[in-house]
């Protein structure tokens, strides 16, 4: 396996994990409609990135396809019930901050892999890979900006009211 293959695999795994984590956060914070809807939309972006990475990986002889969860399933239903049980208590704000921090760090990691792929695509003159990076990396940057903005907006109140 060469470095490009390893990076494609790592990014595919990172995007899949971010999609799942965003979906879980959306479920966990269902009572906060803005968070729920934005996180759901951002998860959709990462699922699309995962699909497109699998397609480009196939071009490079990699099998990146695998089980993919779209729905919340049983664990999602349990998370939803737990979110309803803690709604209105101060702890959900701290939980949301923790979730946003983890989401941000995951998006940052993915962004670095997109940068690496972009550099490799330019060096190899791999136009389909470069097009993929050009399409997907800006969305990852927007995921990062959203999580960072939310942390800035929520930190003062959540941390000073504890």
> How do residues 97-112 score in pLDDT, each as one tens digit?
999 999 999 999 999 9
Distance in angstroms (rounded) separating the CA atoms of residues 117 and 15: 14
> How do residues 116-132 score in pLDDT, each as one tens digit?
999 999 999 999 999 99
DSSP for 27-61, written as a single string? HHTTTSHHHHHHHHHHHHHHHHHHHHHHHHHHHTT
Q: Which residue has the higher pLDDT, 88 or 60?
A: 60
- Of 56, 55, 51, 39, the residue nearest 15 (C-alpha): 51
| pLDDT score of 134 more than 70 | yes
Mean of per-residue pLDDT scores for the chain: 88
- What's this model's pTM, rounded to 2 decimal places? 0.84
Q: From residue 135, how far is each of 80, 128, 130 by CA, in Å?
A: 32, 11, 9
| pLDDT score of 11 more than 80 | yes
DSSP state of 71: S
């Amino acid at each position: 396996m060469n470095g490009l293959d390893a990076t494609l695999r790592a990014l595919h795994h990172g995007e899949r994990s971010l999609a799942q984590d965003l979906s879980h956060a959306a479920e966990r914070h269902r009572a906060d409609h803005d968070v729920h809807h934005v996180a759901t939309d951002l998860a959709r972006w990462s699922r699309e990135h995962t699909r497109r990475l699998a397609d480009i990986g196939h071009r490079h002889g990699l099998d990146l396809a695998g089980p993919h969860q779209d729905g919340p399933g049983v664990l999602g239903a349990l998370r939803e019930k737990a979110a309803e049980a803690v709604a209105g208590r101060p702890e959900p704000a701290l939980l949301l901050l923790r979730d946003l921090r983890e989401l941000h760090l995951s998006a940052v990691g993915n962004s670095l892999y997109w940068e690496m792929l972009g550099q490799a695509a330019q060096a190899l003159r791999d136009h389909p890979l470069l097009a993929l990076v050009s399409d997907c990396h800006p969305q990852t940057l927007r995921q990062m900006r959203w999580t960072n903005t939310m942390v800035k907006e929520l930190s003062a109140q959540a941390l000073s009211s504890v």
